[in-house]
Amino acid sequence: MTTAVRALALAITLAAVSTPELAAAQNASLNAISGSIRLRSGFTPDPYRASVTAGGGIDAYRDTDLPAACVGKISDAPDFEVTYSDAGSLPLVFRTISSSDTTLIINGPDGQWRCDDDSYGDGDAEVRFNNPRNGTYDVWIGSFNGGLASTTLLITETP
């Protein structure tokens, strides 16, 4: 082996070792940090409200392989989990209400990721499922500015 080939092999090895790995995805199999709920189409009260602490140590945009629209500091485990049944013709809408700038990342029953930051330019986020499916919706609420933030998660069929 020539010196140049050895140097190239060493450089490739060092690059592979020193390059940080991206998270495969957030871990929906972990227990939700702030709880869970089972809702059926037509649930009351509507909207359902849950107190959640937004934020975490993972940068959704830089440190994961989530879609590029997914931003904010999040945790590994979901913040909240919704099991939805008897889906009908009504939409299922998730919305944050906070004095901090929050984001939403939701893994739906179809395994697809949906994300939002500032739907209405007000610092809150909203993800709408116009034709919701029965199953589990794992919800991460990110803090756009870093740190932790008290947040209300609203779940409604009548936006």
Q: What is the pLDDT of residue 13?
A: 36
Whether pLDDT at 121 is above 60: yes
Work out the average pLDDT over 134-149: 93
Q: 76: closest CA among 109, 115, 29, 37?
A: 29
Q: What is the pLDDT of residue 22?
A: 44
pTM of model > 0.85: no
Work out the average pLDDT over 102-111: 96
Work out the average pLDDT over 81-110: 96
Q: 78: closest CA among 118, 127, 123, 137?
A: 137
Whether pLDDT at 155 is above 70: yes
Domains of the chain plus CATH, in order, are 23-156 (2.60.120.380)
Whether pLDDT at 97 is above 50: yes
Q: 21: closest CA among 53, 58, 73?
A: 58
Q: What is the pLDDT of residue 123?
A: 86
**Chain segment 7-41, per-residue pLDDT in tens:** 333 333 333 333 334 444 578 889 999 999 999 99
Three-state DSSP at 60 gives coil
121/79: higher pLDDT? 79
Q: What is the pLDDT of residue 50?
A: 98
Work out the average pLDDT over 118-141: 93
The backbone torsions φ and ψ at residue 85, rounded to the nearest 5 degrees and listed phi first, read -135, 170
Whether pLDDT at 94 is above 80: yes
**Chain segment 47-71, per-residue pLDDT in tens:** 999 999 999 999 999 999 899 899 9
